Amino acid sequence: MKKTGIVIIFVILFLPFIYAKGDYGTAGEFLTWGAGARSLGMGKAFTGLADDATAIYYNPAGLSFQNPLQISLNHVMLFYDTMFDFVAITYPVSGIGTFGAAYTQLGSTGFEGRDEKWIALGNFDIVNQAVTLSYAKDLTAWLGVGLNIKLINQNIFGKSGIGYGADAGLIWVPSEYFSLGLSVINALPPSIKLYETAESFPIIIKSGFALKLFGERAIPVVDIEKEMSKKDLKFRFGLEAYPLQSLALRIGKDESEITFGIGYTFMKYYKVDYSLSSQELGITHRASLMFAFGGFDVNLSADPKIFSPVGVKKTVAISIYAVTKYPIKEWELNIINEDGDAVRTYSGDDKPPASFIWDGKDDRGLPVDDGEYKCIMKVIDKNGKEIVSGAEVIKVLSRMPMQPGTIQLEE
């Protein structure tokens, strides 16, 4: 029934795409065009997901749940000597929230200027630029808010104008399988005057949701957009699938184009994305890079990896790295045997110690059996956010291995 319901929802939301038309020429359209090859490959349906640095562009509230410092670089060659560039950086600060900054530019070159008598005045360019400063904070473990302050500059045929504006966002993550986003673009509308009349940017409200299915191997997303000065709604749909852990395949559809994309992750924190779109003007190619550094995490390291409670190395030192965005409320470290049972548990409140010494005994003080054991640590911060470490494997070897040629005698 759940699967059937999901299919029905997507069929209903997908039908308007067949008849939707593009909407070009709107003031400030380059700030709703889309940024990042990943989201562009998903039809720009990113309001409810917003889980990388391009959240600055789509929904600043998405930054509130992001972890490492991220840098996103995006370059697109469009038609007729037109280029689009987007650069963003995000930086989470412990106990405060996440800060971000972005630069967006849409430029066209090679225009030929003429006066009312058709006399050539030389070539000129058209450049639209925006500098955005962002701040986001997770109010609880499931609710985040965000704000953009942006400075916009337009330059056309020697005329230049500057405007200021603001965006606001909200993201709700009630479970690991679902998220819902709301973004108000131009909540404070910029107004730019190039000639005699100032042009105000429209207020745009976007909502969207994302599902994370099959252990986040499939992520369908849907966006609905409404420009307040118009009656029509815009629908956007996308799907991101991971046939391999480091390989992503994407498809999407918005009001003007069909998109396809692919992404690959190197060494966990380095990503390259590519998307291709097909529209009335033809095919465009988009590429972007994403880098991530540091961040909040919980890791364990054991030394030595193999030890014997009755040998020379009788204990193992388990080092703990636990850095969280907000102060740790409680923590628990479990040593788990091959059957999946916890044989030894350490726990406490506040910040955990830097290391533990394990002597190979269980909670009753009895020696454990030989074999492999996994150390896994879970911490919960004051906002209720849970972080679980990866498994650090330790091998207990009490019996001495037999030497070649040795015969074991039975009693």
pLDDT, position 261: 96
297-396 adopts what CATH topology?
Answer: Immunoglobulin-like (2.60.40)
pLDDT in tens, 62-102: 999 888 899 999 988 776 667 889 999 999 988 889 999 99
Tens digits of per-residue pLDDT, 125-141?
778 899 999 999 999 88
CATH value of 2-293 in 2.40.160.60, 3.60.15.10, 3.30.70.980, 3.50.50.60: 2.40.160.60
Average pLDDT, stretch 185-204?
87
Helix segments in 15-149, DSSP class H: 37-40, 55-58
Residue 304, preceding bond cis, omega within 30 degrees? yes
- Greater confidence, 192 or 103? 103
Domain ranges of the chain: 2-293, 297-396
Question: Mean pLDDT over residues 169-192, rounded?
Answer: 94
What's the whole-number average pLDDT of the chain? 85
Q: Do 356 and 318 meet the contact criterion of CB atoms below 8 Å apart?
A: yes
Q: Which residues pair with 363 in a beta bridge?
A: none
How long a stretch of residues is the chain?
Answer: 411
In this prediction, residue 5 carries a pLDDT of: 38
Separation CA 322–CA 8 (nearest Å): 43
Q: Which residue has the higher pLDDT, 407 or 386?
A: 386
Single out the residue of 243, 394, 189 nearest to residue 306, CA to CA. 394
Angle at 46 between CA 224 and CA 204, to 5 degrees: 45
Is pLDDT at 273 greater than 70 in this prediction? Answer: yes
CA–CA dist 57, 169 (Å, integer):
11
Contact 169, 187 (CB under 8 A): no
The Cα 247–Cα 38 span in angstroms is: 12
**CA 177 from chain center: how many Å?**
15
Alpha helices in 320-373, H assignment, sequence order? none
Question: What is the pLDDT at residue 122?
Answer: 65
User: pLDDT of 27-64, one tens digit each?
Assistant: 667 777 789 999 999 999 999 999 999 999 999 999 99
